[in-house]
């Protein structure tokens, strides 16, 4: 079903407001990096609500039973989406934060490695999963989250982020998994 | 009886409580950890948790919901969205990219620090602080100090669970801010 002109223009207005509510902070966390700060969008209740609505509209008919959010900014967007879809929310966390038995996935950083963890038993084989983070850069974090979920037999339907740093080509590093973003930044 | 049971919500509270799990020996041997991630796996219980907070706060002219990293992020935003308030994350040091104000607080061993962006909150705003759990109240007090330093008035602190005997409620009473919790934990380890 294609959007009518007026549907598309409503969506474009919402995305424009969201994009303009995001603040860029130069030289964070290091010199030369332009950091996309979504906290200013969270201060605009209309922009924040529109962000959640745009994701919910896309996924509501897709039988998603799990929304997995990557620590920590994925915890801000994932739960409201999960609640609206009637899905479980599963936090994917840094090491040693989750108290129960976990499975871990190591992934590469620019220097060294890090690990992400998920509780054993949180996701069942065959569940349809949406992975949420605020931003996709190199795709390293999302690729690791996809691996973690596939190891328990889940079906990762899509990854969804508010922002994409297009020049870093993160979407090419996710195998066959599609990524949906609201705002693409260069 | 905890606060949440007073207005006909007893069935919802009971169901929410049954989803929580106690994990022994975490983070250290001899300790008991109250895990809310199992609540998040039950869509009805999670929705009821948010609804109970929203019902309480929607008529209270709250313009800011501040959530404490990281489990406060799982509850605060949904409440903020439902009541039309801003969401302000209160974070560990060096996570927020812009200019921040910091508040140090005391742990069992050593100190920690909570930060908030300058400009997130304006003078005179009415704020709610949200976290999953209150134990000693140290983190909540640091959060309230940040908001008050920015000129906001903290109307209440809201948590899903209270761990009794750690005097968090008393600490907040001394600060002058009420505490609302849905569940008071009894710490019976689940099988």
Question: Mind telling me how many Å the CA of B86 is from chain A's nearest CA?
Answer: 5
Q: Is the pLDDT of residue A58 over 70?
A: yes
Cβ pair A79:B41 closer than 8 A: no
State pLDDT tens for residues A126-162.
999 999 999 999 999 999 999 999 999 999 999 999 9
**CB-based contacts of A41: which residues, under 8 Å, 6+ apart?**
A18, A21, A22, A47, A48, A51, A162
pTM of the entire predicted model: 0.95
Which one of B70, B83, B147, B160 makes the best mutation probe of the A interface by having the most chain A beta carbons within 10 Å? B70
Q: Are B110 and B145 in contact (CB under 8 A)?
A: no
Q: Which long-range contacts (CB under 8 A, 24 or more apart) does B12-17 make?
A: B12/B48, B12/B51, B12/B52, B13/B52, B13/B182, B13/B183, B15/B44, B15/B45, B15/B48, B16/B45, B16/B48, B16/B49, B16/B160, B16/B182, B16/B183, B17/B182, B17/B183
Residues on B contacting A at a C-beta cutoff of 8 Å: 21, 23, 26-27, 33, 35, 37, 40-43, 46-47, 50, 69-71, 73-75, 77-78, 80-81, 84-89, 91, 94-98, 117, 120
**CB-based contacts of B168: which residues, under 8 Å, 6+ apart?**
B134, B135, B136, B137, B140, B162, B179
Residues in chain B, overall count: 191
Q: What is the pLDDT of residue B104?
A: 97
Per-residue DSSP letters for A26-91? ET-SSTT-EEEEGGGTTT-HHHHHHHHHHHHHHHTTTT--EEEEETTTHHHHHHHHHHHHT-EEEE
State pLDDT tens for residues A70-79.
999 999 999 9
Cβ pair A122:B37 closer than 8 A: yes
Residue A44 touches chain B, beta carbons under 8 Å: yes
Whether ipTM tops 0.90, in short, is yes
Q: Please classify residue A113 by burial: count the beta carbons closer than 10 Å to its beta carbon, then call 0-12 exposed, 13-18 middle and 19+ buried.
A: exposed
State pLDDT tens for residues A160-176.
999 999 999 999 999 99
Question: Mind telling me how many Å the CA of B174 is from chain A's nearest CA?
Answer: 30
Which one of B32, B69, B97, B127 makes the best mutation probe of the A interface by having the most chain A beta carbons within 10 Å? B97
Q: What is the pLDDT of residue A35?
A: 96
Looking at residue B46, what DSSP letter applies? H
Q: What is the pLDDT of residue B107?
A: 82
State pLDDT tens for residues B44-64.
999 999 999 999 999 999 999
A110 tagged catalytic = yes
């Amino acid at each position: 079903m294609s959007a009518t002109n007026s549907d598309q223009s409503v969506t474009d207005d919402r995305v424009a407001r969201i994009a303009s509510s995001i603040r860029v902070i130069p030289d964070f966390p290091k010199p030369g990096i332009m950091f996309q700060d979504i906290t200013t969008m969270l201060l605009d209740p209309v922009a924040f609500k529109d962000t959640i609505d745009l994701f919910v509209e896309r996924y509501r008919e897709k039988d998603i039973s799990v929304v997995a959010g990557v620590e920590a900014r994925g915890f801000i967007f994932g739960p409201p989406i999960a609640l609206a879809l009637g899905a479980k929310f599963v936090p994917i966390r840094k090491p040693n934060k989750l108290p129960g038995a976990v499975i871990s996935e190591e992934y590469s950083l620019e220097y060294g490695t890090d690990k992400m963890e998920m509780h054993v038993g949180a996701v069942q084989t065959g569940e349809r999963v949406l992975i949420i983070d605020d931003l996709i850069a190199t795709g390293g974090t999302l690729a690791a989250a996809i691996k973690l979920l596939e190891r328990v037999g889940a079906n990762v339907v899509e990854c969804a982020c508010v922002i994409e740093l297009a020049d870093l080509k993160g979407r090419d590093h996710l195998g066959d998994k599609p990524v949906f973003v609201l705002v693409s930044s260069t | 009886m905890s606060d949440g049971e007073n207005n006909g919500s007893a069935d919802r509270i009971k169901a929410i409580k049954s989803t929580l799990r106690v994990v022994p020996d975490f983070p250290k041997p001899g300790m008991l950890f109250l895990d809310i991630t199992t609540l998040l796996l039950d869509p009805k219980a999670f929705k009821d948790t948010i609804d109970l907070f929203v019902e309480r706060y929607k008529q209270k002219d709250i313009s800011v919901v501040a959530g404490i990293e990281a489990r406060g992020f799982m509850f605060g935003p949904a409440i903020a969205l439902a009541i039309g308030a801003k969401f302000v994350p209160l974070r560990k040091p060096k996570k927020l990219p812009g200019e921040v104000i910091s508040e140090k607080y005391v742990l069992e061993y050593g100190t920690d620090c909570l930060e908030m962006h300058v400009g997130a909150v304006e003078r005179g705003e009415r704020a709610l602080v949200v976290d999953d759990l209150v134990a000693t109240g140290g983190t909540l007090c640091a959060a309230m100090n940040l908001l008050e330093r920015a000129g906001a008035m903290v109307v209440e602190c809201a948590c899903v669970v209270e761990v009794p005997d750690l005097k968090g409620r008393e600490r907040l009473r001394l600060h002058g801010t009420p505490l609302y919790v849905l569940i008071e934990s009894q710490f019976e380890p689940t099988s």
